[in-house]
A and B are shown apart, each in its own frame.
Chain A
């Protein structure tokens, strides 16, 4: 993992696009529980990219040092 902390311009662009997209989804009638999932992805993206990590293999384990267990890897 890179030691550089902070978001890049590309990360900001992705976050901006995602924020617009989520609002559009809401406008199109997407239910709140789905919007919550998208907002979760947005949070995970910002957190991981701030710390120079890519998106996790399993979205439900967003911490930086989590290693997937065997059965979790199969499920992904």
Chain B
């Protein structure tokens, strides 16, 4: 299944220059919160995540699917949506393209219209998250309409 994602939207929070961990015991990750310009991305992602989970379950050996019974192993939550935003995360520093390669602070990204390239990832316990490896400036389809 194709798990790649390429989504345009507005950055609402970013930790792409310096990795971040909410709690001291957590591994620091690069994170990006995106408000997608097209809200159909939410439905599209939900659909693709369901498909990916289904495919993943099919690949599991019988004993494993029995062990993953919710009574013994409560399912972990997906980390794809954060309120009205999409959350991207990565243990590796994402590649910043164009003018973003000159940025010094994460705050400089907030409110920018960007394109994120990444993948829908599924973890061993069957929960999903979005990884990202490229972040680049994007041109809005209606850019310069008022000129």
Q: How far is the CB of A63 from chain B (nearest CB, A)?
A: 13
**CA A72 to CA B77, docked complex, whole Å:** 45
Interface size class of B (residues with CB under 8 A): 10 to 19
Contact present for A37 and B10 (CB under 8 Å): no
Contact of A40 among B10, B85, B113, B142 (CB under 8 A): B142
Q: Is the CB of B145 within 8 A of A24?
A: no
Number of A-B residue pairs with CB-CB distance less than 8 Å in the complex they form: 44
Cβ–Cβ contact A28 & B141, under 8 A: no
A30 touches B10 (CB 8 A): yes
Count of residues in A whose CB is under 8 Å from the partner chain: 18
Of the candidates B35, B110, B144, the one whose C-beta lies within 8 Å of that of A24 is: B35
Q: Which residues of A contact B10 (CB under 8 A)?
A: 25, 28, 30, 34
Most B-side CB within 10 Å, residue of A17, A28, A31, A44: A28
Query: Is residue B66 within 8 Å, beta carbon to beta carbon, of the partner chain?
Result: no
Extra A-B contacts (7), CB below 8 Å, given A24-B84, A59-B145: A21-B35, A28-B10, A28-B12, A29-B110, A30-B35, A34-B113, A38-B37
Which residues of B approach A to under 8 Å, CB–CB?
A: 10, 12, 35, 37, 39, 84-85, 110-111, 113, 140-146
3 A-B pairs with the lowest CB-CB distances in the bound complex, closest first: A28-B12, A59-B141, A37-B142
Question: Which residues from chain A sit less than 8 Å from chain B, CB to CB?
Answer: 17-18, 21, 24-25, 28-31, 34, 36-38, 40-41, 44, 59-60
